[in-house]
Amino acid sequence: MSLSAGLGVILKRDLQLAFRNRGDLINPLVFFLLVASLFPLGVGPSSDVLLIMGGGVVWVSALLANLLAMDSLFRSDYEDGSLEQLMLSPTPLWMVAMTKVLAHWLVTGLPITLLAPVIAVMFGLPSQALPAVVMTLLLGTPMLSLIGAIGAGLTVGLRKGGILLSLLTLPLYIPVLILGTGAIDAAVNELPWHAHLMWQGVLVVLGVTFAPLAIGASLRVSVSG
Amino acid sequence: MSQNPGLSVSELTCERDERCLFRSLAFSLNSGEILQITGPNGSGKTTLMRVVAGLSLDFTGEVFWRGQPVADVRPEFHAALLYMGHLLGVKSTMTAEENLRWAMGLHRNDLSREEIWSALEKVKLAGFEDIPCYQLSAGQNRRVALARLFLARQPLWILDEPFTAIDKQGVAELEQLLVDHAKSGGMVMMTTHHEMSLNYDGFHQLVLGGGV
């Protein structure tokens, strides 16, 4: 039994399930668009203000949308027993966790990243900042998913884990947020922004290395009860 | 112990809410044996199954697989284990065929469509292959999960109340399946409140509870 085949089975099913529950698929995206588009209504349409806020709003909206989607990562598998089957499969648990996070990112983080330039343009961000918006989100949203998955794993056994999940993961999201908005700010001001991006890369390498182990351990604790 | 020790546990102790479920429990399960765990509700049958399968970490003692501590040989142990708990692991939005393909796909990657269909036919689900499981009854959902047994190549089966919601004839067929599995060198550890009418030498019972 090859590992990649087992992981392929998991990935395929998670994507299939995501496309069957369209509501869950679209929710974070709608949330992302709504939050971001409410800001100009709240603070007024002055383009100076919007330009300053733009990068931050895109990132905060993306972060909250990601957090909203995180709770569902393991919940249905936990409730119907699929998680037990996954944990008892010959595939190492950290690989299973990694695959599930990848599937989840493909249906949440990636669409958000692709939609973000639209929001950025809406806030009047100059065109030289758009690559920064996309690149920071492309590196940043997987990191958000990895961190969020640790929290989701820890809270999946609780009946009302939502608030606790936010409290657990939001502080860990902050470095990702600061680097992301920092890069966009730099790009808006025509300064080099690659240093921020590289630091984000460092975080992703760290996350990909350690988060799967932490997610696996958190799932073991939750399933053990 | 036979020459090929399968599963064995020693000094297994588990407490829940300051209540001792079992203490210093030891047993072994070898090729060709069926072990039924019995006892009243709340006596720790499910807990024991989860401890042995490695899902519950809240215990002291040691579980051995082929003579080695399970913690050291976890991938081999998982590759040899088919576990079915109270929660079936059947997704309601997926069809019977998709569910079966996924559950067995975690263990095997050489499944053909014909094999899956014939397994579903054996659990009387012919014609229901591509119906989403939320449209099936409780017993039929249970049968979707039980169809795994017909495709399984794992030697060790841990089954928690597999007969729940299954009709009389289905139970008889399942009992026969378990005996066939044991006869071909498999091991079964199971709980059930159903009166087992097995006429088989390798059938043992372990009674839990009743005040330790």
Question: What value does the mean pLDDT of chain A take?
Answer: 93
**Residue A23 pLDDT grade (very low, low, confident, very high; cuts 50, 70, 90):** confident
B95 DSSP 8-state letter: B
Claim: this prediction has a pTM higher than 0.80: yes
Q: Could you give the 3-state DSSP secondary structure of residue B84? A: strand
Q: Given an 8 Å threshold on Cβ–Cβ distance, is B93 in contact with A13?
A: no
Residue in chain B closest to A16 (alpha carbons) equals: B94
The pLDDT tens digits for B175-206 are: 999 999 999 999 999 998 888 877 888 898 89
**Residue A215 pLDDT grade (very low, low, confident, very high; cuts 50, 70, 90):** very high
Residue in chain A closest to B101 (alpha carbons) equals: A9
Q: Given an 8 Å threshold on Cβ–Cβ distance, is B92 in contact with A80?
A: yes
Q: What are phi and psi of B189, to 5 degrees?
A: -125, 125
CA distance B198 to B191: 14
Q: Mean pLDDT across the stretch A108-122?
A: 95
Tell whether the model's pLDDT for residue B160 goes beyond 60: yes
* Burial of residue B154, with CB atoms counted within 10 A of its CB: 0-12 exposed, 13-18 middle, 19 or more buried: buried
Q: To the nearest whole angstrom, how far is the Cα of A148 from the nearest Cα of chain B?
A: 23
Cα torsion angle, B109, B76, B58, A98, sign: negative
Out of B87, B93, B101, the one facing A81 most closely (by C-beta) is: B87
Per the model's pLDDT, the better-predicted residue between B110 and A52 turns out to be: A52
Which token pair is B182?
């044991």
Q: Given an 8 Å threshold on Cβ–Cβ distance, is A225 in contact with B56?
A: yes
Q: Mean pLDDT across the stretch B74-87?
A: 93
Q: To the nearest whole angstrom, how far is the Cα of A114 from the nearest Cα of chain B?
A: 28
Q: Given an 8 Å threshold on Cβ–Cβ distance, is A16 in contact with B98?
A: yes
CB hemisphere CA count around A160 (13 angstroms): 1
Give the position of tokens 């996924």: B102
The pLDDT tens digits for A156-206 are: 998 887 789 999 999 999 999 999 999 999 999 999 999 999 999 999 999
Give the A-side interface with B, CB within 8 Å.
1-2, 5-6, 9-10, 13, 16-17, 20-21, 76, 79-82, 84-92, 220-221, 223-225
**Residue B212 pLDDT grade (very low, low, confident, very high; cuts 50, 70, 90):** very low
Where in chain A are the domains?
3-224
Q: Given an 8 Å threshold on Cβ–Cβ distance, is A87 in contact with B55?
A: yes
CA distance A138 to A67: 16
Q: To the nearest whole angstrom, how far is the Cα of A81 from the nearest Cα of chain B?
A: 4
Share in percent of chain A as helix, strand, coil (round to 5): 85, 0, 15
Out of B83, B92, B108, the one facing A1 most closely (by C-beta) is: B108
Tell whether the model's pLDDT for residue A55 goes beyond 90: yes
pLDDT at residue B195 in the model: 83
Which CATH architecture does the domain made up of B7-207 adopt? 3-Layer(aba) Sandwich (3.40)
Q: Specify whether the CB–CB gap between B190 and B157 falls below 8 A.
A: yes
Report CA-CA distances (Å) from B22 to A212, B11, B25, B26, B61.
34, 10, 6, 10, 11
Tell whether the model's pLDDT for residue B165 goes beyond 90: no
Which residues in chain B touch residue A86, judged by CB atoms under 8 angstroms apart?
A: 106
Report CA-CA distances (Å) from A166 to A77, A151, A159, B93.
20, 8, 15, 28
Tell whether the model's pLDDT for residue B211 goes beyond 60: no
Where in chain B are the domains?
7-207
Report CA-CA distances (Å) from A66 to A142, A146, A170, B94, B114.
10, 11, 11, 25, 41
Share in percent of chain B as helix, strand, coil (round to 5): 35, 25, 40
pLDDT at residue B201 in the model: 87
Interface pTM, i.e. ipTM: 0.91
pLDDT at residue B1 in the model: 43
pLDDT at residue A5 in the model: 80
Q: Mean pLDDT across the stretch A146-163?
A: 91
Q: To the nearest whole angstrom, how far is the Cα of B86 from the nearest Cα of chain A?
A: 8
Close Cβ partners of A120 (under 8 Å, ≥ 6 residues apart): A54, A55, A58, A129, A130, A133
CA distance A69 to A57: 18
Percentage of residues in chain A with pLDDT exceeding 70? 99
Beta-strand runs (E) in chain A: none
Out of A6, A80, A89, the one facing B87 most closely (by C-beta) is: A80
CA distance A175 to A190: 22
> Which of A99-103, B3-7, B67-71 is most confident?
A99-103
CA distance B9 to B25: 7
Which residues in chain A touch residue B87, judged by CB atoms under 8 angstroms apart?
A: 79-81, 84
The pLDDT tens digits for B118-131 are: 999 999 999 999 99
CA distance B94 to B103: 12
Residue B66 sits at the vertex; the CA angle it makes with B65 and B72, to the nearest 5 degrees, is 50
Tell whether the model's pLDDT for residue B77 goes beyond 50: yes
Tell whether the model's pLDDT for residue B4 goes beyond 60: no
Q: Specify whether the CB–CB gap between B84 and B162 falls below 8 A.
A: yes
Which residues in chain B touch residue A82, judged by CB atoms under 8 angstroms apart?
A: 89, 91
Tell whether the model's pLDDT for residue B2 goes beyond 70: no
CA distance A62 to A174: 13
Out of A1, A17, A81, the one facing B89 most closely (by C-beta) is: A81
